[in-house]
Structure 1
Amino acid sequence: PQPGGYGAPQPPQQPGAYGTPPGQQPGGFGAAPHGNPTPGYAYPQPYPHPAPQPQAQPHPTAPPQPHYGYPQGPPQPPTGYAYPGQPQPYGYPYGQHPTAPYPAPKAAGQRTVVYIVVAAVLAIALIAGVGFWYANSGGGGGKQDTAHSSGGTGGKNGSGGATGGKEKAPADPGSKMLFQVPLPQTANTVRTAGSWLTDDVYAKSGVAEITGYDPADGTRKWTLKLPGPVCSASRQLTDDGRTAIVFQPEMNDTRAGCSRLAAVDLTKGTLLWTKTVGEGDFPVTFDNVTVSGRTVAAGSNDGGAAFDIDSGKALWQPKRSDGCYDVGYGGGPKLVAVRKCGGYDNPQLHIQTIDPKSGKVFSEYKMAPGIEYASVVSTVPLVVAADVGHSAGDGSGISDYFSIDGRTGKLLTRISAPGDTYGGKCDSITKVEDCRGVVAGNGRLYLATEEHDGTSDKYSQTNEIVAFDLTTGKQTGQRAPAGDGYTLYPLRMDGTSLLAYNHPPYDKGGQVLSIDGASFKAVKLLENPATQEVHQAEATMPAEYAELRFADGRLFMSAVYAHKVSYGKEYLVLAFGTDG
């Protein structure tokens, strides 16, 4: 058949050699330097690639920060953890580096992220793999919901209902700072992954602890102490406010690994249970964890395991057979496993929709041999991202999106997303479910474009959000512009509307917009103050790396690392809210 529009499925390519040289450390997502000037630690820097030049500290009479589309300040010596020779940060398994490196942005007019590819990259065969269906009479059937994103089962953390939308535009979208939490001072870089929002609590991981705050004013409701830092945290949570984390059993010994799996009651601030998997001195180290229904599922290169979130009862543990193991899981309304089979030089990924309670496979899609990593963007609709043939070239981990029928395992379409055209980033190496700048819902894939020149002056940058049909792979023609100097990032679905954060220019405050799924008309839900103090604080929480949660007219921004702050102010949490 003739090819469709942009992003339609493409014909298979001839097989080619594949592989990254043995011993090469894969790149990924989220490393943090310490001691850098504003905009602060939240800009991960390359590891172990040559250091980018840090950016100049803004001054009332000086040009604004280059990341937001302005002139570059004088070069300064590189500092921070992310350079070779610096110590291993806490919150990662011994012998692994943080899955990171998205480089610091370039100067104005050149803000497209550049990634230095170390591995030898060659073509991958058979782009659109083969879908395979396991026939069954279980929960894989029924009508597929098409209005969820990759976020939590609770709408505040990432996904909305099938119709309508809960977030309403206030009479005055102007916000005020509700509260702020300073970044903890640490001698070494420590991971602080995890933030959740319920009706009554905003909870955030700190240094070897999780704290629950009143969403309205930041009053501490509880603090849950842990023996070591949180390595990975589920974005999903149950309707009654329960979620899951992976943490390190010791604070000052990275060799202990991220081997403790736990369920947390966010209402009470208590651990429901903790588990380890494995025997003796060699417990499994988990890279990722998620929640679907009442099931906690965790995965890694050592395989996966699942437990009941309430009791901690072991539900199932897939066996490593025929060289296959569960790398990780995507949760929410369905549970989807990314299962890796085959050897190092010719891996094959199986995308499996499974029963959370039993682990039974309902359907399976086999990706093309040679694709090494994949991320679950959304489980309903089922969308998977992959860097096919290491062709993304920008460190995003995405060259293509695969829209799959979760009931049958059939590939619906493949959407090409060149890194120089579209944003969106996934940590497909270890986190599996950690995708940003892309949302699926309404039978659509919503993607931010890369930044390009604006119209106001030579330093102005902007972008748009565009939509692709998840059945045909074609663009729908819907396009939401950020506005000159602004940069849009999709956050989550709110019913049939898309919520997006609009990063501001230097003289404005950030915004949260609701974009109608049909008309693509944008309505402002929140706009932060345009003061220098607020802008500089907000600049330390770029949407590419920070954790953003929005609900009920409140925006919560939080950091994923703590470190020693040697200049300026940095924050663990910033909270804004409207009076509406």
Structure 2
Amino acid sequence: MYSPTGPTRRRRFGKGPLITLVVVLLMLAGGGVYVVAGDADRSGTARPVARETGSAVPSGSPAAGGSPGPVRTSPMPTSILPVPTDPPSTAELDAARKPREAHGWVAGDSADLPSRDVLTGPVWSVGDTIVQVLYRDVVARRVSDGAVAWRVSLPAPVCGAPVGMTPDGKVVVAHRNPAVGEEEKCDQIQMLDLKSGQKGWVKKLTTTSKLDRPKTAGLSISGVFLVLHQGATASVHQVSDGTELFDVPTDNPWSSTLAVGERGCHPTASAAGSTKMLVISSCPGADGAQFGQIMEIDPRARKVLWRYRVGDGQLIAKVYSTDPVVFTTTTSVSSSFSNWRIVALDRAGKVRSTIDPEKQGIPPCLGLSDLGGTAAQVCRGALATQDTLFLTSETGLSAFGLADGKPRWKSDVGSDRQLRPLRAEGGTLLAYLGPSKKEAGRIVRVGPKKAMTTVLRHPSLARETEYGMQGGDVALVGRRLIISPYWVNGDDRRHDTRLLSFTP
């Protein structure tokens, strides 16, 4: 879930990524946060750059890599923050580059934004362009130099966008109602062709249940199909023309003792990759306790392939990967994140293994406030391959076997740098080592027996800009690292960077 109205600005510099409950509630009140978790099975030339999971291109897919994540610190009102210095230009970066430092480009923008923090939306990789959502604009930039290739402006701010796209580069985004007095409703969906920058069909959503939340819209794409949920209902559509195919079942096979009208499992989130479509629901139990359910939907056959339920009082929070299916459970998604676990399922929806990271001192989603959001694919700090799960904490990275859930190895990096998985390669991991107050960031290789080795050093001149963007997304597109900020401020005195990129 992506909301154009961000939470209170956080400090640009700080050690820990842990967030207080107050910030969680603020973000939830703002309509949710769009971040991405991912899947391991994306393929094709049009590739989604996922926040926290994906394929070799999106940071975080099992087959290619895992999921990098942001580092957000405690809140600080924008009004008391100093106006940052202007970021260096691409020409200045190139002129000041030292031997063995990366080449880089910096992308700014003169688009008119509200004079406040505005959350960035997802970033997709399509052919030779990177496409970014920001407020009411969808902008494509050339991967090679960051120059604008095309721009699409929508009638109102974007309020929902999927992690992935169709194999031919099409997405569906939700934006707010532009009518006066209706601005809070997230009830317009628009298809976009990310290759050409052309708009496609557009629809207005209608409320079908008292539990529907017209202020939010969750969207996930698997292949050529879209699953859309509005809080209490979910439906599957064709991306090509918007045709609604069927409603996601809300039956509750786990609680036959309840009256028919009390049994419904209401969809709360969805997650999708190129081969799988998952829907998460909250179900009432016989004793009044809620429990979570996750199911795989076959959009072509229009049926549920399997369902998995967690214990009474437990809910499903975030999906680390859709292939293999790896997700977190917790006793509460919106307040306390204690007693959380990780569950890996096989292709039949049966438990493959469970992991208890809490015993290892690893916080869920890097301890970030996104954990309480309504989107499932928003968790940072995890990457799943078919047999290994990599999790990052404040001090390092841990690898767990998905076959048995047992720890495999651990690598410490210190408490002042954030390590974020990018891609798994032959038993080792490519990761982004975030900048410190004294050093620029790096791409490093981490393995079970070898010390962490540097693959690419980022330019020293970009350190301050890079440090201020640590709350955003990081992904590899080929050999190029793309960094997107978590928010951009519309104050005319500021010149916040939209994208930052480095390559050998």
User: Is TM more than 0.5 here?
Assistant: yes
Alpha-carbon shift at residue 484 of structure 1 (Å): 7.6
2:8, 2:40 → 1: CA distance? Answer: 41
- Asked if the contact 2:64–2:385 (Cα under 8 Å) also holds between the matched residues in 1, the reply is no
- Higher-Rg structure is 1
5+ long unaligned stretches in structure 2: 44-49, 67-98, 252-262
What residue number does 1:204 align with?
Answer: 132
Deviations 1:72-112 (A, max 9, x none): xxxxxxxxxx98xxxxx9xx9xxx434479xxxxxxxxxxx
2:141, 2:40 → 1: CA distance? Answer: 33
Which protein is richer in helix relative to its size?
A: 2
Alpha-carbon shift at residue 49 of structure 1 (Å): 6.5
What residue number does 1:361 align with?
Answer: 304
1:287, 1:280 → 2: CA distance? Answer: 13
Alpha-carbon shift at residue 565 of structure 1 (Å): 3.6
What residue number does 2:80 align with?
Answer: none
SS in 1 for 2:459: coil
- Aligned ranges 1:352-431 → 2 under 5 Å: 352-388=295-331, 393=336, 399-407=340-348, 409-418=349-358, 421-425=361-365, 427=371, 429-431=373-375
1:220, 1:490 → 2: CA distance? Answer: 28
What residue number does 1:488 align with?
Answer: 419
What residue number does 1:311 align with?
Answer: 241
What residue number does 1:186 align with?
Answer: 114
1:242, 1:519 → 2: CA distance? Answer: 42
1:412, 1:363 → 2: CA distance? Answer: 14
Alpha-carbon shift at residue 387 of structure 1 (Å): 2.0
Identity %: 20
1:435 maps onto 2:379 in alignment? yes
Alpha-carbon shift at residue 252 of structure 1 (Å): 7.6
- Asked if the contact 2:62–2:383 (Cα under 8 Å) also holds between the matched residues in 1, the reply is no
1:419, 1:253 → 2: CA distance? Answer: 50
Q: CA RMSD in A?
A: 4.0
Q: In the superposition, relative to structure 1, how do residues 508 and 536 fare at CA in structure 2: closer, same or farther (>3 Å)?
A: same
- Paired residues in the alignment total 438
What residue number does 2:77 align with?
Answer: none
2:62, 2:354 → 1: CA distance? Answer: 25
Amino acid of the residue matched to residue 385 of structure 2? G
Deviations 1:90-147 (A, max 9, x none): xx9xxx434479xxxxxxxxxxxxxxxxxxxxxxxxxxxxxxxxxxxxxxxxxx9899
1:563 maps onto 2:489 in alignment? yes
1:29, 1:418 → 2: CA distance? Answer: 33
1:252, 1:413 → 2: CA distance? Answer: 51
Alpha-carbon shift at residue 194 of structure 1 (Å): 1.4
SS in 1 for 2:57: helix
Q: In the superposition, relative to structure 1, how do residues 157 and 494 fare at CA in structure 2: closer, same or farther (>3 Å)?
A: farther
What residue number does 2:441 align with?
Answer: 510
Deviations 1:521-580 (A, max 9, x none): 65544321123xx221112211xx4122222222222234343448765222222222xx
Residue 335 of structure 1, aligned match among 277, 300, 316 = 277
What residue number does 2:73 align with?
Answer: none
1:182, 1:44 → 2: CA distance? Answer: 30
Deviations 1:224-278 (A, max 9, x none): 1111112222221233322332221328867542222333221111233223332
SS in 1 for 2:376: coil
- Asked if the contact 2:352–2:402 (Cα under 8 Å) also holds between the matched residues in 1, the reply is yes
5+ long unaligned stretches in structure 1: 1-27, 51-81, 84-88, 102-143, 166-171, 452-462
What residue number does 1:553 align with?
Answer: 479
Residue 351 of structure 1, aligned match among 266, 269, 294 = 294
Alpha-carbon shift at residue 469 of structure 1 (Å): 1.2
- Asked if the contact 1:329–1:338 (Cα under 8 Å) also holds between the matched residues in 2, the reply is yes
SS in 2 for 1:278: coil
What residue number does 2:56 align with?
Answer: 155
Alpha-carbon shift at residue 47 of structure 1 (Å): 7.2
Q: In the superposition, relative to structure 1, how do residues 390 and 49 fare at CA in structure 2: closer, same or farther (>3 Å)?
A: closer
- Asked if the contact 1:30–1:100 (Cα under 8 Å) also holds between the matched residues in 2, the reply is no
What residue number does 2:432 align with?
Answer: 501
What residue number does 2:101 align with?
Answer: 174
- Asked if the contact 1:150–1:376 (Cα under 8 Å) also holds between the matched residues in 2, the reply is no
Question: What is the TM-score of this pair, normalised by structure 1?
Answer: 0.66
SS in 2 for 1:157: coil
